[in-house]
Amino acid sequence: MREFSKVRRLITHFYLWIGIAIIIFPIYFIFSASSHTSAEILSAPMPLNIGPYLLENYKRALFEGTKNLGTPVFIMIKNSFIMAMGISIGKIIISLLAAFAIVFFDFPLRKFCFWSIFITLMLPVEVRIMPTYKVISDLGMLNTYSGLIMPMIVSATAVFLFRQFFLTVPREIVEASQIDGSSPMQFFGRILVPMSRTPIAALFVIQFIYGWNQYLWPLLITTKQEYFTLLIGINRMMTGADVNIEWQIVMATTLLALIPPVIVVVLMQKQFIAGMTETEK
């Protein structure tokens, strides 16, 4: 690009650095807070350097910070991980199937299924959290992983995205496979799913983050500590009556809780963006 001069290039870099600063500064802020004592954090103004308590605070966050919860961090990490994986994998599987049916088949109840699924698209679980709790408890699913996971895979976002992608699959492919004499399921397994690799990857990222970051629902339905997730831990550290909230530990735990989803996003960045490109035509 000839007309893209040096000055312009510099300006572009400059803009991007401002963007990064907007995103990084708040994160740096919690990092800084996680390296001080709570008295320092509460003093005004709070110091913005990296304080001397960094290692100590993280050690406490990891090994004892949540002592009063009685749940070691590694159990919470495990639970967050199971929940995030359960939600992403569960949702991808049932959504692939549902989108396959809705896009490629014509059956009498198609419209009905379509609308039943899609009116759930935008409504967050918070809005109907109490009745949902009742349902889960009627089904005896309190304090189970399925109780944690199932209500979270209701939303139709994944069906929606797969549907968008399937609609772009060229007609010839499905016709060819029918001429070959392969059954619908063979078409699904051998052609459609492999073709959908990138949207699946993108959805995996989206759902993993979604699952990892849930907190109101797990908060309500887990009473046994062996089912606590990391975000419950954070929430519970911040809400106590008449107590000295140890902000430095909250901040350290918050940063620790950020690491796994960030790794997922960064590692799968390419597929993530590519997946979006393919579905959003």
Partner 1 sequence: MKKLLLLVLILAMTIGVYAQVSVEFWHAMTGKNGEMVQSVCDKFNASQKDYKVVPVYKGSYSDTMNAGIAAFRAKQAPAIIQVYEVGTATMMAAKGAIKPVYQLMAENNAKFDPKVYIPTITSYYSTSDGKMLSMPFNSSTAVMYYNKDAFHKAGLNPDKPPVTWPEFFDAARKLKASGMEGGFTTNWISWIQLENFSAWHNVPFGTKSNGFDGLDTELVFNSPLHVRHFENLYKLAKEGVFIYGGRENKANPLFISQRVGLHFESIGGYGSMKANCKFNFGVARLPYYPDVPGAPQNSIIGGASLWVFNGKSPAEYKAVTAFFTYISQPEIQAYWHQNTGYLPITNAAYELTKKQGYYKDNPGLEVAIGQLLNKPPTKNSMGIRFGNFNIIREIEDQVWEDILADKISVKDGLDRMVREGNAKLREFERLYK
Partner 2 sequence: MAKQYEIKAKWLPYFLVLPQMIIVFIFFFWPSAQAILQSFYLQDPFGGKTIFVGLSNYIALFTNPDSDYLYSFIISIVFALSITLLSMTVSLFLAVQAHKKIHFTTFYKTMLTWPYAVATLVAGVIWLFMFNPNVGVIAWILKHNFGIPWDYLLNFQHAFILLTLAASWKQLAYNFVFFMAGLQSVPETLVEAAIIDGASPIRRFWQIIFGLLAPTTFYLLVMNLVFGFFETFPIVHGITAGGPGKSTSILVYKVWRDGVVNLDLGGSSAQSVILMILVIGLTVLQFRFIERRITY
Length of the chain: 281
Taking CB under 8 A as the rule, does residue 124 contact partner 2? yes
Q: How far is CA 171 from CA 103, 167, 181, in A?
A: 12, 9, 16
For residues 201 and 78, is the Cβ–Cβ distance under 8 A? no
Q: Give the x/- contact pattern for partner 2 in 49-88, rule: CB under 8 A.
A: ----------------------------------------
Stretch that binds partner 2, among 55-63, 65-73, 148-156, 189-197 (CB under 8 A): 148-156
- Rank residues 68 and 178 by Cβ distance to partner 2 and give the closer one: 178
Residue 70 binding result from partner 1, partner 2, none, given CB thresholds of 5 to 8 Å by partner type:
partner 1
Of all helices (H) and strands (E), which one includes residue 172? helix 171-179
For residue 245, state whether it binds partner 2 (rule: CB under 8 A): no
Residue 217 in the binding site for partner 2 (CB under 8 A): no
Helix (H, G, I), strand (E, B) or coil at 241: coil
# of chain residues touching partner 2 (CB under 8 A): 103
Chain-centroid distance of CA 222 in Å reads 19
Q: Does 7 bind partner 1 (CB under 8 A)?
A: no
From candidates 7, 131, 223, 242, binder to partner 2 by CB under 8 A:
131
Give Cβ neighbours of residue 90 (< 8 Å, ≥ 6 apart).
149, 150, 153
C-alpha 72 chain-centroid distance: 22
User: Rounded to whole angstroms, what are the CA distances from 198 to 4, 171, 202, 205, 264?
Assistant: 33, 20, 6, 11, 15
134 binds partner 1 (CB under 8 A): yes
- Asked whether 252 and 54 are in contact (CB, 8 A), the reply is no
Residues 103-132, interacting with partner 1 (CB under 8 A) = 130
Residue 250 beta carbon to partner 1: minimum distance, rounded to whole angstroms: 11
Least distance to partner 1, CB of residue 128, Å: 13
Residue range at the interface with partner 1 (CB under 8 A); choices 28-36, 165-173, 230-238, 251-259: 230-238
Q: Which of residues 31-70 bind partner 1 (CB under 8 A)?
A: 38-39, 42-44, 67-70
* Site membership for partner 2, residue 181 (CB under 8 A): no
Work out the widest C-alpha separation in the chain, in whole angstroms.
75
